[in-house]
Amino acid sequence: MSSGAPRGQGQVIRLPRGASLSDFADKINANPGSLVQEMFNLGEMVTATQSCSDDTLNLLGEHLGFEVSIVSPEDEDRELLAQFNIDLDAEVASERLVTRPPVVTVMGHVDHGKTKLLDAIRKANVVEGEAGGITQHIGAYQVHVPHDGVDRALTVIDTPGHEAFTAMRARGAQVTDIVVLVVAADDGVMPQTIEALNHAKAADVPIVVAVNKIDKPDANPDKVRQQLTEYGLVAEEYGGDTMFVNVAAKPGIGIEELLEAVLLTADASLELTAPIDGPAQGVAIEAHLDKGRGAVATVLVQKGTLRAGDSIVAGGAHGRVRAMLDENGKQVAEAGPARPVMVLGLTAVPGAGDTFLAAEDDRTVRQIAEQRQARRRAASFANSHRRPSLETIMEQLKEGEKTSLNLVLKGDGSGSVEALEDALFKLDIPEEVQLRIIHRGVGAITESDVMLASASSEAVTIIGFNVRASNKVREIADREGVEIRYYTVIYQAIEEIDAALKGLLKPEYEEVELGSAEIRDVFRSSKIGNIAGCIVRSGVIRRNAKARLLRDGAVVADNVAISSLKRFKDDATEVREGFECGLTLSNYNNLQVGDIIETFEMREKPRA
Ligand code: GDP
């Protein structure tokens, strides 16, 4: 049963999370193939380059006598920082602990009023009473509410939806203390309500339910309470411990009560303190490239205090804080725990959810940023080899491997998404393949779709039906090695997926121009029809090549071919630029002086 893999004697080997058998083989100087064999002996079919679960890596380690220690990306980063004597988890006993505001994220089903609620909360900033309220959308804002006679602050993440939340979680950053789950009282619990709820539960974040749109005549707030009990959220008035607050975001009813409930929930279940001294640490919430100002990032300070002039590193970006602005567009000199600020001065744009920290000097932050960039490149390289696409699924099928096709379906309307899904499940699916729709939704392909696909242990293909991904999302998909395919016709999507399922994905062809020739003279032959006397203007003219005929720039004959080709009296297989030739076209006789003949061939296109 031995297949040549070395046996360890309890040596510890360190592997990054999601490592493949090839990575494992590298560490123990073995041949990856032998590890595939070992896994097979253990009853698991794993390819050499496939990303393995922790369990698989541990199992193999145990079998071969190695102790596997799996290093998460966060741990890896921690080790990197340790090289610079930075310890994110250092005890802060000597430092001042302050109570910090809770950080709130608003989530819920589309159209249930998340955006309106964020607007309403912004306007409810009663204490500060800024004229006109908060005007800048910087990705997060802070509001003040009187609570038990005390002025209390709340930090609100200003991006509705699950995207920010999942993106940050996927990077291991936990920003949110409390989730406000918005449910429209006239619509009740919907798919994304459940999705949001599951995200919050997975992150172990307490939930306050905002039952919205109670101003509507058909609102039924009690039904929402009823429905959510099924998902383990039981309202206080029903003997549970979740606070439900009836609100109407549009006319601004119940907003203060909602914020009170958030504070009460925070006080009851969370320990909200943070050190205010020391260099700042936190998370980038949002970032973009601004024409005039360069890289602009909104960061949320979680520990310590950030000051203008500090050297900071956020993900793979670094720089010196040139200026900090708050949500009112005002310059601030320093930002303490739970304070969101917009930072100017970074050299690049960090990703949402990237952690940031201030360090001693420019050199340190630059080195940290560079090492992180190098690591990301390596990881994305590994990923691009690792995540199978529709084609590799087809290859696996050919090789007889059992496989599954996992899809995320996004479309322009719920009707089209349902139609696509229905049609997919009606397909005659080969026994060795499993088709799974892991997520479906309406609207553009978002970062959270890509994150969902990339967080999955198996390959996931995202199907966009009449919807696209923004450049930024596409970039992330590339980085994470997630395949996105676009369709505008349902049957075409079905056909390709069907083909992939059956291992028959047809190659795509593209036209490649070979050459062009101009007709200088036309000779009539009773035997073979009209012969064009030409000069080759570009490229080559090849016998049997596909051709089209252009007259005054318009196509007058398409789908023809060069049926005979001569140099003087001799048959030729090809004639190059600058030379004269005589040729005939298959099935086309109406040749005129001055016509242009273009030839091309169809080449198989490497699939994107
Ligand atoms: P989101 O998709 O969850 O961000 O939802 P929006 O905030 O964009 O709201 C969706 C629609 O519901 C908009 O037309 C809002 O005007 C409307 N809406 C939101 N809150 C209320 C409310 O409290 N009462 C009423 N009547 N309409 C509301």
Q: Is the CB of 211 under 6 A from ligand 1?
A: no
**Per-residue pLDDT, 312:** 95
The helix (run of H) or strand (run of E) holding residue 227 is helix 221-229
- Atom 15, ligand 1: which residue's CA is nearest? 113
Q: Is the CB of 113 under 6 A from ligand 1?
A: yes
Contact 97, 302 (CB under 8 A): no
CA 184 – ligand 1 centroid, Å: 8
pLDDT at 434 over 90: no
169/354 Cα distance (integer angstroms): 10
Contact 272, 177 (CB under 8 A): yes
Measured from the Cβ of residue 365, the count of other Cβ atoms closer than 10 Å reads 26
pLDDT at 103 over 90: yes
Count, residues in the chain: 608
- Which residues are registered as beta bridge partners of 567? 570
Residue 415 makes CB contacts below 8 A (sequence gap 6+) with none
Q: Is the CB of 160 under 6 A from ligand 1?
A: yes
- Give the up-direction half-sphere exposure of residue 599: CA atoms within 13 A in the CB hemisphere: 28
- Which residues are registered as beta bridge partners of 141? 156
Residue 356 makes CB contacts below 8 A (sequence gap 6+) with 280, 281, 282, 283, 284, 297, 299, 312, 313, 314, 315, 350
End-to-end, the C-alpha distance of the chain in Å comes to 41
Give the number of the atom of ligand 1 that is nearest the alpha carbon of residue 118. 7
pLDDT at 10 over 90: no
Give the number of the atom of ligand 1 that is nearest the alpha carbon of residue 247. 23
Residue 332 makes CB contacts below 8 A (sequence gap 6+) with 324, 325, 326, 341
CA 193 – ligand 1 centroid, Å: 15
**Per-residue pLDDT, 134:** 55
Q: Is the CB of 162 under 6 A from ligand 1?
A: no
Give the number of the atom of ligand 1 that is nearest the alpha carbon of residue 117. 7
Contact 299, 242 (CB under 8 A): no
CA 113 – ligand 1 centroid, Å: 4
CA 467 – ligand 1 centroid, Å: 23
Give the number of the atom of ligand 1 that is nearest the alpha carbon of residue 109. 3
- State the average pLDDT for the chain: 83
- Which residues are registered as beta bridge partners of 297? 287, 343
CA 253 – ligand 1 centroid, Å: 13
What's the CA angle centered on 537, arms 536 and 540, to 5 degrees?
Answer: 55
Residue 544 makes CB contacts below 8 A (sequence gap 6+) with 561, 562, 563
Ramachandran region, residue 76 (left: φ > 0; alpha: ψ -120 to 50; beta: rest): alpha
CA 539 – ligand 1 centroid, Å: 61
pLDDT digits (tens, 9 = 90+) for 503-547: 644 456 777 889 999 999 998 888 888 999 999 999 999 999 999
| Structure token pair of residue 476 | 């992330």
Contact 145, 152 (CB under 8 A): yes
Pick the residue with more confidence: 429 or 71? 71
| Structure token pair of residue 597 | 């003949």
507/503 Cα distance (integer angstroms): 12
For 546, the 3-state DSSP assignment is strand
The helix (run of H) or strand (run of E) holding residue 370 is helix 362-386
| Structure token pair of residue 62 | 């145990």
For a ligand 1 pocket test, name from 106, 116, 258 the mutation site with the most ligand atoms within 8 angstroms of its C-beta.
116
pLDDT digits (tens, 9 = 90+) for 266-323: 999 888 888 888 889 999 888 877 777 888 899 999 999 999 999 999 988 999 999 9
pLDDT digits (tens, 9 = 90+) for 457-508: 667 889 988 888 877 888 888 887 888 888 887 788 888 888 777 764 445 6
**Secondary structure letter of residue 350 according to DSSP:** P
Buried b (16+ CB within 10 A) or exposed e, 269-286: eeebebbbeebbbbbbbb
In order of their start, the domains of the chain are 12-71 (no CATH), 101-272 (3.40.50.300), 275-378 (2.40.30.10), 395-503 (3.40.50.10050), 508-605 (2.40.30.10)
394/500 Cα distance (integer angstroms): 6
CA 190 – ligand 1 centroid, Å: 15
DSSP 303-327: ESBEETT-EEEETTEEEEEEEEE-T
Pick the residue with more confidence: 606 or 79? 79
Ramachandran region, residue 531 (left: φ > 0; alpha: ψ -120 to 50; beta: rest): beta
Which of 284, 290, 342 lies closest to 317 in space, CA to CA? 284
Q: Is the CB of 248 under 6 A from ligand 1?
A: yes
For a ligand 1 pocket test, name from 110, 119, 215, 250 the mutation site with the most ligand atoms within 8 angstroms of its C-beta.
250
Q: Give the pairing of strands 103-108 and 150-157.
A: parallel
Q: Is the CB of 216 under 6 A from ligand 1?
A: yes
What's the CA angle centered on 517, arms 514 and 521, to 5 degrees?
Answer: 155
352/175 Cα distance (integer angstroms): 11
Which of 348, 186, 180 lies closest to 258 in space, CA to CA? 180
pLDDT digits (tens, 9 = 90+) for 356-395: 999 878 899 999 998 888 777 665 544 444 444 565 555 6
Q: Is the CB of 115 under 6 A from ligand 1?
A: yes
Assign 3-state DSSP to the chain and report helix, strand, coil percentages, each to 5: 30, 35, 35
Q: Is the CB of 254 under 6 A from ligand 1?
A: no
Contact 365, 373 (CB under 8 A): no
SS3 of 58-98: HHHHHHHCCEEEEECHHHHHHHHHHCCCCCCCCCCCCCCEE
206/518 Cα distance (integer angstroms): 75
Q: Which range among 172-186, 240-254, 344-358 has the greatest average pLDDT?
A: 240-254
For 276, the 3-state DSSP assignment is coil
Q: Is the CB of 215 under 6 A from ligand 1?
A: yes
For a ligand 1 pocket test, name from 111, 137, 195, 246 the mutation site with the most ligand atoms within 8 angstroms of its C-beta.
111
CA 261 – ligand 1 centroid, Å: 21
